Amino acid sequence: MANADGQSVRASVMEQAKAVAGDFPTPQLRSLVCPYCGTVTPDSGRCADCAGRFDALSRQATQNQMGPWSIRDDRQPHRPGCTFDTIERLIRQDSIGPNSVLRGPTTRQFWTLARHTPGVAHLLELCYSCQSSVKTDAFACPNCHASFSVERDRQHLGLGPARPLPGQGLPQVLAMKAEPAAVLGAGRIESTTIVGGTPNERLPQQPIPPQSTGQFTEASQLARRWKRAWELERRRAWSVISIAFVIVFIAIAYSAWIAWQSGADSSISVNTHSSDSVKSVPKRAIIWYT
């Protein structure tokens, strides 16, 4: 009874305290940014969006699988890139198909279809260039001879070179490197085919206007003139350096010769003084010494 009375008294006191101060505060979890998908999520040990764990072991495991390849996924649009080994594993699991959209070093980080991606399309038994059927272990296409090599270094993004935009340089530079736009097929998805690395694999370029060709020729001639002028100045500089080296060498040799002559003259004078002193010694002293 005493225990029940004590509990009843405590309950009544707590009810009175609630009436005065209100309900007890509920602790709120702090929020943080998920390191995998960038979502602001409560710090509960796991992301509420991508379900990634925040412990050090999970972070390191994810870091080991990161790479320059990305797979477009509307469910997880902000997940990090993966390695090429992960791409191969997902293809074997049928998670990546010919119409999957991805990007990587061989696409210059532009989104494209998997069947048009160099280094990936042949794993789907397709040539990325001519779309003919190939074996997954082939090194090149037997039809168009396109190479299936791929960069496996996860630090290599494969970005294209930086070139001037219109208004920042000569327009023919971009015209010569322009790639054809995407071709839409009947009832199927198409994407721009990535230009290969060898001349035989490149697609035909668009014709360059005569005006642009003239500007490009003039710019090339100006560049050659600058190169010739630079080479001439370099030869002149080397000539001046060579002459200066010869002059310094001659000066050092002349200084050494003068020093040698001075030493020879001093030794001759010392010998002369010694002979004179011997002649001045009395005859008896000479005999005594001998």
Domain spans in the chain, listed from the N-terminal domain onward: 83-161+179-198
The pTM of this model reads 0.52
Give the pLDDT of residue 225: 83
Give me the count of residues in the chain: 290
Calpha distance 104→195 (Å, rounded): 14
Q: How many CB atoms lie within 10 A of CB 26?
A: 5
Q: Which amino acid is at 57?
A: L
* pLDDT, block means (10 residues), the chain with 290 residues: 63 78 69 89 88 90 91 88 93 94 93 94 93 91 89 84 70 58 52 50 48 67 82 88 92 88 69 50 41
CA-based max dimension of the chain: 150
